C-alpha cells in the first residue's frame, strides 16, 4: 500500500527536488537531441523535414496524454500513475536508442511523448494536495525553476553527449535518467491523494469535468497567458539549430550561448517569484512579469531591426524575457488550479494540454516559418507576448464577474 504524504513541512524541501526532477523530464527530453538533427539525417538518409517530424511526433501525444494523466491520477492516485509512466518512458527511450530507421525513431519518440508529461501534470497536483497560499507558491516556484531550465539545459547536455558518444547516447542517457527517477519515486514519492478523496474513473464524469474546466473563461484566459508568453521562449528553443548554427555561426557545442542566458533569466525569475510569495499578490506578480517581458521583447525587435545578428547582443534580450516569464508562471499556474479545488488533477491536465499543444504548434508550424532570420524570430517573440498579455487582461476583466464555485460534494 503506498505511503501517505507526511503531515509536517520538514519533508517539503526534498519533495521539491523530486517533483522538480519529475517536471523536468518532459521538457528536457523534448530538445536534448536537437544538436544531433544533422547527424540523424545523415545516418538514416532522411531529409531535414522528416527529422523535424521526430519532434512533432513527440509533442502531439505529449499534449494529448497530459489531458488525461491528471484525471487518471484523481481516480487511481498520484504515485501509481507516476511510476507506470516513468517505466514506459524508460522503455521508449531504449527503443529510440536502438532505432534502425527514422520511422522507428518517430514511433518511439511518440511513445516517449505519451508518457513524459505525467511528472509535470501530477507534480502540480501534488503541490496543491499538500500546501496552500504562499507556501504553495514558494514550492511551485522551486519546481518551475527546474522545469524552466530543463529545455534550456537539454541541448547543452545533448550536444556534449553527441560529440563524445554519438546521437544514440542521448537516448541512452534519457533511459538511464528515467529509470533512476522511477526508482527514486518508488522510494520517496508519497501518495498525497488518499482513497477517500479520489474520484471514480467514469467516462461520463470525466467528460463532465472537462466540460466544466474548459468552459471557464477565467481558466482559459489564464492558461492562454501562460501558453502564449512561454511559446515565445519555446520558439527560440526549437529554432536553436538554425538560430545558433546558421545565423550566429556557432558549433554543436556552442548551444550554451543561447541556453546559458535563458537558464540565468529563469533562475532569477523563479527565485524572485518565491521570494515575493506572501509579500505581493499573484495578480501583481504576474503584471510585473509581463512588464519585464515587454521591455525585453521590444529591445529584441529594435536590435534586430537595426543590426545583423551578433553575439552576445542577439541573446541578451532573452534574459529579461525569460526572467519575466519565470516570475509570472508560478502565479498563473496556481491561479488556474485554484479555480477547481476538487479537480486539481484534471485542471492541471487541461493546463498542460493547452501548453504542450501550443508548443507543438510552434514546433511544427511557426518555427519553420520564422527561423529564416533573427528579425522574424524577434517578431515572433513579440507576437506571443502580445497575445499572452491580452489573455491576462481578459482574465482581469472576466474573473470578478464569474460567480464563486461551490465546492463539489465527494461521493460517499
In this prediction, residue 253 carries a pLDDT of 63
User: How does residue 176 score in pLDDT terms, banded at 50, 70 and 90?
Assistant: very high
In this prediction, residue 398 carries a pLDDT of 80
Examine the pLDDT at 11 and tell me if it is beyond 80.
no
Examine the pLDDT at 177 and tell me if it is beyond 90.
yes
Mean pLDDT of 199-215: 78
Examine the pLDDT at 189 and tell me if it is beyond 80.
yes
In this prediction, residue 337 carries a pLDDT of 80
Mean pLDDT of 237-252: 78
Q: Tell me: the pLDDT tens digits for 191-201? A: 877 777 777 76
Q: By mean pLDDT, which of 127-131, 237-241, 384-388 is the weakest?
A: 127-131
Examine the pLDDT at 317 and tell me if it is beyond 50.
yes
Q: By mean pLDDT, which of 124-133, 207-216, 263-272 is the weakest?
A: 124-133
Comparing 329 with 196, the larger pLDDT belongs to: 329
- Whether the upstream peptide bond of residue 260 has omega within 30° of 0, thus cis, is no
Cα separation, 287 vs 277, whole angstroms: 14
Report, in angstroms and rounded to the nearest whole number, the Rg of the chain calculated over CA atoms.
20
Examine the pLDDT at 343 and tell me if it is beyond 50.
yes
Percent of the chain whose predicted confidence (pLDDT) is above 70: 88
The neighbouring-strand residues paired with 191 are: 4
User: How does residue 346 score in pLDDT terms, banded at 50, 70 and 90?
Assistant: confident
Measure CA of the first residue to CA of the last residue in the chain; give whole Å: 21
Examine the pLDDT at 215 and tell me if it is beyond 60.
yes
In this prediction, residue 133 carries a pLDDT of 64
Residue 249, Ramachandran bin (φ over 0: left; ψ between -120 and 50: alpha; else beta): left
User: How does residue 408 score in pLDDT terms, banded at 50, 70 and 90?
Assistant: very low
The answer to whether 326 and 268 are in contact (CB under 8 A) is yes
* Structural domains in the chain plus CATH codes: 13-194+201-401 (1.20.1250.20)
User: How does residue 3 score in pLDDT terms, banded at 50, 70 and 90?
Assistant: very low
Examine the pLDDT at 404 and tell me if it is beyond 50.
no
Cell numbers of 29, please? 527530453
Examine the pLDDT at 410 and tell me if it is beyond 50.
no
Taken as a whole, the chain contains a residue count of 412
Cell numbers of 309, please? 545578428
In this prediction, residue 276 carries a pLDDT of 79
Q: pTM score, two decimals? A: 0.68
Amino acid at each position: 500500500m503506498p505511503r501517505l504524504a507526511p503531515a509536517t513541512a520538514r519533508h517539503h524541501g526534498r519533495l521539491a527536488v523530486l517533483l522538480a526532477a519529475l517536471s523536468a523530464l518532459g521538457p528536457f527530453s523534448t530538445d536534448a537531441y536537437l544538436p544531433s538533427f544533422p547527424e540523424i539525417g545523415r545516418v538514416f538518409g532522411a531529409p531535414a523535414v522528416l527529422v523535424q517530424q521526430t519532434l512533432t511526433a513527440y509533442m502531439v501525444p505529449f499534449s494529448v496524454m497530459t489531458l488525461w494523466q491528471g484525471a487518471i491520477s484523481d481516480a487511481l492516485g498520484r504515485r501509481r500513475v507516476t511510476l507506470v509512466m516513468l517505466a514506459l518512458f524508460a522503455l521508449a527511450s531504449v527503443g529510440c536508442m536502438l532505432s534502425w530507421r527514422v520511422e522507428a525513431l518517430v514511433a518511439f519518440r511518440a511513445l516517449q511523448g505519451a508518457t513524459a508529461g505525467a511528472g509535470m501534470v501530477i507534480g502540480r497536483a501534488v503541490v496543491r494536495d499538500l500546501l496552500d497560499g504562499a507556501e504553495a507558491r514558494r514550492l511551485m516556484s522551486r519546481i518551475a525553476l527546474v522545469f524552466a531550465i530543463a529545455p534550456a539545459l537539454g541541448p547543452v547536455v545533448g550536444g556534449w553527449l553527441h560529440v563524445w558518444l554519438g546521437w544514440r547516447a542521448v537516448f541512452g542517457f534519457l533511459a538511464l535518467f528515467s529509470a533512476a527517477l522511477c526508482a527514486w519515486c518508488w522510494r520517496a514519492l508519497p501518495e498525497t491523494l488518499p482513497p477517500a478523496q479520489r474520484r471514480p474513473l467514469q467516462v461520463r464524469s470525466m467528460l463532465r469535468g472537462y466540460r466544466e474546466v474548459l468552459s471557464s473563461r477565467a481558466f482559459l484566459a489564464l492558461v492562454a497567458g501562460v501558453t502564449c508568453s512561454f511559446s515565445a521562449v519555446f520558439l527560440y528553443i526549437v529554432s536553436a539549430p538554425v538560430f545558433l548554427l546558421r545565423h550566429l555561426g556557432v558549433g554543436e557545442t556552442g548551444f550554451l550561448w543561447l541556453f546559458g542566458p535563458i537558464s540565468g533569466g529563469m533562475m532569477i525569475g523563479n527565485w524572485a517569484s518565491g521570494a515575493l510569495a506572501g509579500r505581493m499578490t499573484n495578480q501583481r506578480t504576474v503584471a510585473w512579469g509581463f512588464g519585464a517581458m515587454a521591455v525585453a521583447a521590444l529591445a529584441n525587435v529594435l536590435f534586430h531591426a537595426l543590426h545583423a545578428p551578433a553575439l552576445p547582443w542577439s541573446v541578451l534580450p532573452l534574459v529579461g524575457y525569460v526572467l519575466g516569464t519565470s516570475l509570472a508562471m508560478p502565479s498563473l499556474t496556481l491561479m488556474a488550479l485554484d479555480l477547481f479545488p476538487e479537480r486539481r488533477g484534471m485542471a492541471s491536465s487541461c493546463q498542460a494540454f493547452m501548453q504542450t499543444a501550443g508548443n507543438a504548434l510552434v514546433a511544427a508550424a511557426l518555427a519553420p516559418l520564422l527561423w529564416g532570420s533573427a528579425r522574424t524570430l524577434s517578431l515572433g517573440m513579440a507576437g506571443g507576448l502580445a497575445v499572452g498579455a491580452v489573455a491576462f487582461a481578459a482574465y482581469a476583466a472576466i474573473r470578478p464577474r464569474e460567480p464563486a464555485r461551490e465546492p463539489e460534494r465527494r461521493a460517499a
